[in-house]
Amino acid sequence: MNSDSAIQALGALAHDHRLAVFRLLVQRGRDGMAAGDIAKALGLPNSSLSFHLAQLQQAGIVAQRREGRSLIYSADYDAMEALMGFLTENCCQGAGCAPSVAQTKEQC
């Protein structure tokens, strides 16, 4: 994780609809959700949602896979942890006070 990719991830999350999408996907876990279903769940026009999904994917915090006719999106937990680690890096002059977020990885 470098500064540029962190900015992209943060910027992707820093939006009403995108944050809602991401949190929905985080709750869904590995199964993810089809684009159309997300649009229905959040009451967004397909074209708008598509725009936002592209940003989340481009930022690397959401993954896409095809299943039948549908495109399924899911949250990328590894990327989420990497982002958190980056934000707390060398916290308090390297006094080792950054939380160990490593456990998220195995548990998901």
Given the rule CB under 8 A, which residues bind its own copies? Answer: 3, 6-7, 10-11, 13-16, 19-20, 22-23, 26-30, 77, 80-81, 84, 87-104, 107-108
Structure tokens that stand for 60 in this block: 């690397």
Residue 49 interacts with DNA (CB under 7 A): yes or no: yes
Q: Name beta bridge partners: 96.
A: none
In a 13 Å sphere around the CA of 76, the CA atoms on its Cβ side amount to 18
DSSP type of residue 34: E
Q: By CB under 7 A, how many residues form the interface with DNA? A: 27
- For residue 83, count other CB atoms closer than 10 A to its CB: 20
Residue 46 interacts with DNA (CB under 7 A): yes or no: yes
Compute the least distance from the CB of residue 2 to DNA, in Å. Answer: 17
Residue 63's binding partner out of DNA, its own copies, none, with CB under 5 to 8 Å set by partner kind: none
Q: What are phi and psi of 50, to 5 degrees?
A: -60, -45
- Interface positions with DNA (CB under 7 A): 11, 15-17, 34-37, 39, 44-55, 64, 66, 68-71
